[in-house]
Amino acid sequence: MKTKRMAQPVYDDPNRLYEQPLWADLWFIVGFVLVVPDVLVFVLMLVKSSFSVELTGHAIGGYPFFLGRTVTLAFLGSVLPVLIRRSSRRERLRLRPARIEPGFYQDPVHKGVQRLWDGQEWTTEVKAGRRKDVPRMVFMAGVFFVVSLLLGLGASTKALNEAQTLQGGAAAMAGVTFFRG
C-alpha cells in the first residue's frame, strides 16, 4: 500500500532563525572580525608612537578616517544585511504550508528545522535540526580575523615608518642648518 505524500513548500533561506540575537548571525560575526583587528592595530599604533610627540600626532591625525572606516565596515558588513534579511524572513511567516491541518512542517524561516503550524498561523515551537556548518563558520571567521589583522598591521607599520622617516629627515636637516650656522 502506497502512501501519498503531499507536497511541502521548500524555501531557500540561510540557516538562521529570525528570533536569534544579532550577535549570533554569521554576517555580524564577520563584520565584527573585520573591525576588531583595526581597533587592535590602532591601539598598537598609539602605544608604539607614545614615545614620540610627532608620531603620536601623526597617529591621532588619522583617527577620524579610522573611526569612519570602522563604523562603515561594522554597519555595512554586518548589521545592514542582517536587518534586511530579518525583515524579509518575517514576511515569509505569513505564508501557509501546503497542507492546512496542524502539524510540523518545514520552517519558512529556518532551513533544516520544522515549525509547528496550528491550523491558523506558525507558532514559536520548533523541532531543531542539526547544524553542520558551525565549524566552517568558525574557520571562516578565523581566516577573516587573521587576514584583516595582517592587513591592518602592514598598513600601520607602513604609516609609522613613513612618519619616522619624515621625522628623521627633518631632524637631519635641522642638524645641518645648525652646524652651518
Element spanning 80, H or E: helix 80-92
The pLDDT score that the predictor gives to residue 91 is 62
The pLDDT score that the predictor gives to residue 113 is 72
pLDDT along the chain (181 residues), means of 10: 49 45 67 72 68 55 67 68 66 60 70 72 67 66 76 73 68 47 47
By CB neighbour count within 10 A (0-12 exposed, 13-18 middle, 19+ buried), where does 151 fall? middle
The pLDDT score that the predictor gives to residue 17 is 44
What's the predicted TM-score (pTM) here?
0.32
